[in-house]
Amino acid sequence: MTALTLLGSTGSIGVSTLDVVRRLPERFCIFALCAGRNADLLASQIAEFRPQLVVVETDSVRASLMERLASAGLDSGSLPAVETGPAALVAAATAQDAGIVMSAIVGVAGLQATYEAVKAGKRIGLANKEVLVASGKLVMEAARAHNSELIPVDSEHNGAHQALRAGRRHEVTRLILTASGGPFRNTPKDQLREVTVEQALNHPTWKMGQRITIDSATMMNKGFEVIEACWLFDFAPSDVDVVIHPQSSVHAMVEYLDGSLLAQISTTDMRMPIQYALTWPERLPAPVPPMDWSSVRSLEFFPPDLDKFPLLRLAYEAQLSGGSAPCTLNAADEIAVEAFVNRQISFPEIHAVVAETLSREPARSPASIADVLEIDRASRRRAGELVRQRSQNATSAQPAGKR
């Protein structure tokens, strides 16, 4: 029996992970559930999975969780310890009892706990791509030094992990990541100014958390995935290609030096890569329905339009620059996405804010996670100022009657 620490249990990946655990009760149990603010869902997860430890973001969430647990009539002897804050996340991720850590918090909030779990030599199911985007060098060095297995959950990287098993690493020449193209694949560039938050949140093939859904609409997500792939599998950015594939059935392709390409294909359901990450190198029966080939009409592939989706190009450039650039890219994007969702800036301004933050923040070489977190904070502050300037300019540019 392997016990899991689940970082981000109430999110899209967290809920899917618990379903995989629910289906394999003889293999997995839950040691710790860690989440942000959704006390209702967390209370029902605690009642079902009976973790020993629970971590939430704030004291007020802790108080409302305790109320819900009390009114659920759980026997007090079996209630978990409930802690708050970053140090408690680290304790949950490094505890002796945690055999596997599923890293599924969104954003840099999951970085420190994931990094410490790597240093503790844990197997990591890595969904939280921002960990490698912000701090790929330090995390990969720690994984090598402490024999920690980083098994990617992100569907493209999980597909690549599978296709890479067919040959030796030195026989591989190229990695191809597919992208659905998002909801604006066919929207002309000059109409992107007018798109709404609701349209951007309506992803054609995947149901995911808010940030990654907007990042898919701008293709920043694919840019992050290029960076993630470079770190995970030791590729130069120029050896990782992106191909638009609207059906999202092929997740990744690995090209070998003899010209043979191996593709990984499966239904668009994250429980498949999650189960793979938990059970690797074993394969267990699928937690998802098999591909229905009677309904597959065609599989299409197109090159991406980097002019329409400039954040993808910016990600390649940031990874080539190295140092603090990818960390700043991620931090600025998180602020810009939040500002777009709060209707402070337009869709194309997400790129404008990120590009300007990158050009203004000094390049640094982070030597520790503390440095990375400091670069993250400085980049967020800068991006926040740029958002304020832009929304003030937009308000003063409006005709008086519309203010």
Closest-approach residue to ligand NAD (CB): 11
**Residue 256 interacting entry, from Mg ion, ligand NAD, none, C-beta within 5 to 8 Å by type:** none
Q: How far apart are CA 126 and CA 386, in angstroms?
A: 32
Nearer to ligand NAD, 278 or 386 (CB): 278
The reply to whether 334 sits near Mg ion by the rule CB under 5 A is no
For residue 91, which of 126, 65, 53, 62 has the smallest C-alpha distance?
53
Rounded to the nearest whole angstrom, what is the least distance from the CB of residue 241 to ligand NAD in the complex? Answer: 19
Angle between helix axes 325-341 and 210-218 (nearest 10 degrees) is 100
Nearer to ligand NAD, 171 or 374 (CB): 374
Rounded to the nearest whole angstrom, what is the least distance from the CB of residue 321 to ligand NAD in the complex? Answer: 22
Nearer to Mg ion, 116 or 154 (CB): 154
**Residue 106 interacting entry, from ligand NAD, Mg ion, none, C-beta within 5 to 8 Å by type:** ligand NAD
The reply to whether 130 sits near Mg ion by the rule CB under 5 A is no
Residue span binding Mg ion (CB under 5 A) among the ranges 1-9, 154-162, 261-269, 313-321: 154-162
For residue 249, which of 265, 262, 261 has the smallest C-alpha distance?
265
Count CB-CB contacts under 10 A for residue 47: 14
**Residue 12 interacting entry, from ligand NAD, Mg ion, none, C-beta within 5 to 8 Å by type:** ligand NAD
Nearer to ligand NAD, 210 or 346 (CB): 210
Nearer to ligand NAD, 15 or 195 (CB): 15
Give start and end residues of each alpha helix (H) in 85-128: 86-94, 111-119
For residue 179, which of 300, 342, 42 has the smallest C-alpha distance?
300
For residue 3, which of 69, 53, 47, 44 has the smallest C-alpha distance?
53
Rounded to the nearest whole angstrom, what is the least distance from the CB of residue 395 to ligand NAD in the complex? Answer: 30
Question: What is the maximum span of the chain, computed from C-alpha positions, in angstroms?
Answer: 66
Q: How far apart are the first and last CA of the chain?
A: 61
**Residue 104 interacting entry, from Mg ion, ligand NAD, none, C-beta within 5 to 8 Å by type:** ligand NAD
Which residues lie closer than 8 Å to 400 by C-beta, 6 or more apart? none
Q: Which of 57, 130, 154, 333 binds Mg ion (CB under 5 A)?
A: 154
- Which amino acid makes up residue 99? G
Nearer to Mg ion, 16 or 155 (CB): 155
Nearer to ligand NAD, 104 or 262 (CB): 104
Contact present, 129 and 66 (Cβ < 8 Å): no
Which residues lie closer than 8 Å to 199 by C-beta, 6 or more apart? 183, 184
Contact present, 97 and 52 (Cβ < 8 Å): yes
Contact present, 193 and 259 (Cβ < 8 Å): no
Rounded to the nearest whole angstrom, what is the least distance from the CB of residue 37 to ligand NAD in the complex? Answer: 6
Strand, coil or helix: what is 398?
A: coil
Rounded to the nearest whole angstrom, what is the least distance from the CB of residue 387 to ligand NAD in the complex? Answer: 20
The reply to whether 215 sits near Mg ion by the rule CB under 5 A is no
For residue 233, which of 143, 100, 301 has the smallest C-alpha distance?
143
Rounded to the nearest angstrom, the gap between the alpha carbon of residue 177 and the centroid of all alpha carbons in its chain is 15
Angle between helix axes 369-397 and 111-119 (nearest 10 degrees) is 160
- Where do contacts with ligand NAD occur on this chain (CB under 6 A)? 8-14, 34-36, 38, 57, 104-106, 109, 127-130, 154, 206, 208-210, 212, 270
**Residue 304 interacting entry, from Mg ion, ligand NAD, none, C-beta within 5 to 8 Å by type:** none
Nearer to ligand NAD, 35 or 118 (CB): 35
Nearer to ligand NAD, 2 or 210 (CB): 210
The reply to whether 228 sits near Mg ion by the rule CB under 5 A is no
Residue span binding Mg ion (CB under 5 A) among the ranges 6-14, 130-138, 150-158, 337-345: 150-158
Rounded to the nearest whole angstrom, what is the least distance from the CB of residue 365 to ligand NAD in the complex? Answer: 24
* Token pair belonging to 344: 């402070």
The backbone torsions φ and ψ at residue 34, rounded to the nearest 5 degrees and listed phi first, read -125, 130
The backbone torsions φ and ψ at residue 344, rounded to the nearest 5 degrees and listed phi first, read -90, -30
Rounded to the nearest whole angstrom, what is the least distance from the CB of residue 87 to ligand NAD in the complex? Answer: 12
Nearer to Mg ion, 182 or 384 (CB): 182
Rounded to the nearest whole angstrom, what is the least distance from the CB of residue 225 to Mg ion in the complex? Answer: 5
**Residue 53 interacting entry, from Mg ion, ligand NAD, none, C-beta within 5 to 8 Å by type:** none
* Token pair belonging to 222: 């694919």
State the residues that interact with Mg ion by CB under 5 A.
Answer: 154-156
